[in-house]
Structures are given as structure tokens and as C-alpha cells.
Amino acid sequence: MANTLDQSVSKRRTFAIISHPDAGKTTITEQLLLYGGIVREAGTVKGKKSGNFAKSDWMEIEQKRGISVTSSVMQFDYQGKRINILDTPGHEDFSEDTYRTLMAVDSAVMVIDAAKGIEAQTKKLFKICKMRGIPIFTFMNKMDRDSRDPMELISQLEDVLGIEGYPMNWPIGSGRVLRGLYDRYNKRVALYRPDENSEKYLPLDDDGNLTVASDLPDDEVYQDAKSNMDLIQEAGNQFDLDKIKSGDQTPVFFGSALANFGVETFLNAYLDFAPEPGEHENTLDDTEVEPDNQEFSGFIFKIQANMNPRHRDRIAFVRVCSGEFDRGMDVVLQRTDKKLRLSNVTEFVANTRENVEKAVAGDIIGLYDTGNFQIGDTIFNGKQAVKFPPLPQFTPELFMRVSAKNVMKQKSFHKGIHQLVQEGAVQLYTTYSTGDYILGAVGQLQFEVFQFRMQNEYNSEVVMEPLGHKTARWIRPDQLDEKMSSSRNILVRDIHDQPLFLFENAFAERWFHDKYPDVELMTKL
Ligand code: GDP
């Protein structure tokens, strides 16, 4: 039994794709799904093999805006592996959900538009991956268009993100002169033939020279790529699996998601190095919960409400960390120490339930929730109590003052706001001076979702007054003096009663720091 569980776990590869909007995340996801066919999917992408993928219709707001508000899960089998892709919202108004999803993966794929290089949102998401120390694989996309100098793209990884890049292959030209990929990892040249479906490979010998007759060696574009690859071989970063595992080096692949060029090469190499589910810390006794431990455990990284507007249900997404999930099993909710039978309330989040198989470490399950769960909760079913580390809090950057439009409806306003905050939809702060409510978010969209849900689920119309960008800095309660509050900052408390200042800008923060040098100003992630 231990063996079969171990075997199932070792097949799992669970990752998220991080990128800036328009870099090609959706396009590459579709290509990956086509390679695997889809076992089970939930949410964003509907599993039509034709490649026509429709957005989820779970939430009206998603339909209205034509975007996917919340992350979802796609699962497929490929070459003996079971792959879980956790989607992250593709819109630039991303939210804390996106960040939290990165807590539930074992590796990340970073898609970069090779014409644009590293963009703002990629940087933010990268930071979270880096903080977790998970492996990051890079796909330089859109090589069918004129790209930046590949050398520059590689050095940008180091300069901007602080991660070593190790090119697994090198583009032979780009845009109209894209000839193919010089692939040192697979010792072959992949020819770019956009009008044909299959990739054509020419083998390379150990010295990196073509072993078959070809015009390529006379081609300047090829010579250029080869000499760059030779140079990197000589003077570039050494391939270092330990560094890859700790997120200090990223294997880099070039290609075009749209032309499906280099994607299969990427996927195969990714599977050679991507980690299987690892252990998770049990904070109750400082031990590690091994993924092949027989006892089931998992944590909730996301709660999505209103999948079905008529039922007001919520789905709690659980990352399985150990054991095997069975419907109808009893689990203990660690936070309350209450036993829950999951039979009536539990379903996999899936459109195609007949395909659902057992879920083991690395998999994501969706539990129908009637309000039992909170983000960050641990559930387990063994004798050994388990509590996974709390999910990190993220420093919000955008703020809104919020109040109920109708003062007679304070009750539903408060109920709604507290439930949505508990769910992690937005963060809530209260001003010291007047007790006003201020909402904080990492993306604008969180406010819109909040407003929409307050109206639709709690029948509470809210008034929102934008406070714009602010710099949130926590301070130690013992250092607090309410006189520190001035016109350039707002003093508030968070839901844990911790004091923080919302500064107008970096200048206001510096001014404060100069005035109160002993007061430590702290950020969350
Ligand atoms: P996302 O916002 O990151 O999910 O990006 P999408 O996958 O929706 O792609 C954004 C746009 O870039 C779409 O118009 C795609 O067709 C286009 N695109 C994606 N990959 C490529 C590529 O490899 N080459 C070219 N030329 N366009 C691409």
C-alpha cells in the first residue's frame, strides 16, 4: 500500500504559470493541454480538444468582463506523469488569490514575451516563487516575432530577478528569420517549420556540430546562434541541479506558443527536472509530513464563492499534502478541532466527474463548503494532528474607504464585509481616528469583486471612495503613539489588531522614518 501511494505521488507534477498579461500564458496552457488531453479540469478552460477554450461561467462578473477572476485547476496525464496546472488570473488586475495559488504548487513556469523582456507582474509573481524557494522554469515566448537579443534576455534574469539563467536551447534567429532552435540539451537542432505540424530535428554530435548534411552551417543566423551557444558553454553559468531545485537557477527555453514551436521540447525537459510533491512542515511538532504518509492531510489555499448563484455555495480548494483523499472520509478541521464528514458536502471540482480518480499529494480537490473553512486551514484524518504553516499575508498596494450606502442596512453590510474578509477576498483595516473601514488589495479587481458580491450575496450596496496607491507599513504596538498620525498618513489597525500606517507615498514614509528613527516600519510579503 505504501508503495502504491508512493508511486502515485511520484507521478505528480504540480505547477503554476506566472507571466505578465499577454505574454502567452493562455496560449501555452492550451498547447500543454493538447499534449495531454484533459483528465479533469475546473474553471477557466473547458476541455475541448479542438483548442477552443471557453472561460468559466461561474461568476457573472467573469462573463461581463470576459476574464477569469479566480484561479482554477487543470489536470492531465502526459508520458506517465499526472500534471496539475494551477491557473492564475490572466488579467493585470490580479489579486491575492494569484499569490496564494503559488503556495500550493511545487514549481513554476515563467513565460516571458521575448520582445518585451521581464515585465512588472512577472517580477511580483517571481518574488513569491523565490520566497518559497521552488524551481522556476522559463519559457521565452513569441520567438516567431522579432525578439530582444537572447543574451540580453538571459542577463535580464540575473539583473532584474536575481536568478541565474541556464539556456537549455538557443533561438536561431527570431521573427522572419527564425530558423529553429539550437538545442544543446537534446543535442539536436529543431527546425522551425510553421506550415508543418511536426517538428523536424537534425542531430548534433558531442561537439555541437550537425551530423547530417544541411545548408544551415552556411547561414549567418545559424552561425551566430551557434557561436553564442559556444560562448555560453565556455563562459556561462554551469548547469546546477541543486540551484534549480532551490530556485537559484532557471533553465531557459525559447519558442513560440502560438506556432507550437519548442513547447513539446520544453514540456519534456520540464518533466525531466520538475520536482514531485515534497514534504510540508507540521508546525505542531516541528516534523515534516511526507507526501507518502498514509494519513490524509491538506491545506486550503483558496475559497471561491458563488459557483452556483442559486445555492450560495462556496468551494474550498485543498492542496493535498499526504495520504489519499476519499469521498465520505472524516477529517478534522485543525483550527476548530471539529470532525467533518466530507460525504455530503464534498465533490471534486470537475465537469467530467467520471474521470475523477483518487487524489494524492500534489493534487487539488474542491470541497463544497457551507462556511466551515477559512483560507489557510489544515484538514487531516489521522491520529497525528497536523497544522501546516499559515499562508503568508501580502502587502496591499491599493486602498478604498468603504461604507454602506443605506445606513439602515448596517447588519448585512457588516456580515458581508466580515465574511468576505475571512474568505480572503480583500483585506480590511479600521482607522484609529474614526473607526472607518478601509479595504486593501493587491489588485483593483478585488474591489470590483467585493462590491459585486456585497450587492449580490448580501444585498448590501456599498460606497467606495478610492484612496489610491498607498504604502502599507506595520509597526510594533508598543511603539505606537497616535500622535504619529499626520496628514500624510492614515493610522489603521488590521483584523488582528496590529497597527499600521498607510503612507501617501515613499516620500511620506521617509519623512516619517526621519522623524521617528526608532520606529521599525515593516512590510508583509
Ligand atoms: P496571456 O494574457 O498571457 O494569457 O496571453 P495570451 O496567451 O492570451 O496571448 C496574448 C496574445 O499574444 C494573443 O493574441 C496570442 O495569440 C499572442 N501570442 C501568444 N503566444 C504567441 C507567440 O508565440 N507568438 C505570437 N506571435 N503571438 C503569440
Q: Is the ipTM of this complex over 0.95?
A: yes
Helix (H) or strand (E) segment spanning residue 336: none
19 is in an annotated binding site: yes
Answer yes or no: is the C-beta of 36 below 6 A from any ligand 1 atom.
no
The pLDDT score that the predictor gives to residue 306 is 57
Ligand 1 close to Cβ of residue 524 (< 6 A): no
| 171 C-beta closer than 6 A to ligand 1 | no
What are the per-10-residue average pLDDT scores of the chain (525 residues)?
80 95 90 72 38 37 41 80 82 74 96 96 92 96 97 97 98 97 97 82 94 94 96 93 97 96 96 96 96 96 67 78 88 94 52 54 85 90 94 90 91 92 88 95 86 89 92 94 90 94 93 95 84
- Give, using CA atoms, the residue closest to atom 28 of ligand 1: 258
Taking the centre of ligand 1 as the mean of its atom positions, its distance from the CA of residue 90, in whole angstroms, is: 11
Q: What is the DSSP letter of 104?
A: G
Find the 53 Cα to ligand 1 centroid distance in Å.
14
To the question of whether residue 66 is assigned a binding role by annotation, the answer is: no
Evaluate: CB of 144 within 6 angstroms of ligand 1. yes
- pTM of the model as a whole: 0.87
Model confidence over 228-287: pLDDT tens digits? 999 999 999 999 999 999 999 999 999 999 999 999 999 999 999 999 999 999 999 999
Tell me the CA–centroid distance for residue 21 and ligand 1, in Å. 9
Distance from residue 156's CA to the centre of ligand 1 (Å): 21
- The H or E element that residue 500 is part of is strand 499-503
26 annotated ligand-binding residue: yes
Place of cell 511536426: 198
Instruction: Please indicate if the annotation marks 142 as binding a ligand.
Output: yes
**Binding site membership of 21 for ligand 1 (Cβ less than 6 Å):** yes
How far, in Å, from the CA of 89 to the mean position of ligand 1? 15
Residue 56 confidence (pLDDT) = 36
- Say what the pLDDT of residue 412 is: 93
CA 27 to ligand 1 center in whole angstroms:
6
E strands, 326-425, in order: 330-333, 338-341, 359-360, 364-369, 378-380, 398-404
**Is there a binding annotation on residue 211?**
no
CB 277 within 8 A of CB 13: no
Q: Give the pairing of strands 249-254 and 136-141.
A: parallel
3-state secondary structure of 252: strand
* Beta-strand relationship, 427-431 and 437-441: antiparallel
Give alpha helix (H) positions in 133-219.
Answer: 150-156
Give the pLDDT confidence score for residue 93 in this predicted structure.
54
91 is in an annotated binding site: yes
Cα–ligand 1 centroid distance for 25 (angstroms): 7
Q: Is 217 helix (H, G, I), strand (E, B) or coil?
A: helix
Q: What is the residue with the minimal CA distance to atom 11 of ligand 1?
A: 22
Q: Is 88 annotated as a binding residue?
A: yes
Substitution candidate for ligand 1 out of 18, 45, 258 with most atoms within 8 A of CB: 258
Establish whether residue 25 lines the binding site of ligand 1, counting it when its CB lies within 6 angstroms of any ligand atom: yes
Q: 258: Cβ below 6 Å to ligand 1?
A: yes
Atom of ligand 1 nearest to the CA of 23: 3
Q: What string of H, E and C letters represents the secondary structure of 280-312?
A: EEECCCCEEECCCCCCCEEEEEEEEECCCCCCC
Query: Atom 24, ligand 1: which residue's CA is nearest?
Result: 142
Residue nearest to atom 6 of ligand 1 (CA): 24
Burial of residue 444, with CB atoms counted within 10 A of its CB: 0-12 exposed, 13-18 middle, 19 or more buried: middle
- Which residue's alpha carbon is at the smallest distance from atom 9 of ligand 1? 24
Q: Would you say 37 is a known binding-site residue?
A: no
CA of 26 to the centre of ligand 1 (A): 7
What pLDDT does residue 77 have?
86
Report which ligand 1 atom has the smallest distance to the Cα of 29.
7
Is 370 annotated to bind ligand?
no
Q: Distance (Å, rounded) from C-alpha 106 to C-alpha 135?
A: 8
- Which residue, judged by its Cα, is nearest atom 17 of ligand 1? 24
Ligand 1 center from residue 24 Cα (angstroms): 4
Which pLDDT does position 374 carry in this prediction? 86
Residue among 67, 101, 62, 98 nearest 84 (CA): 101
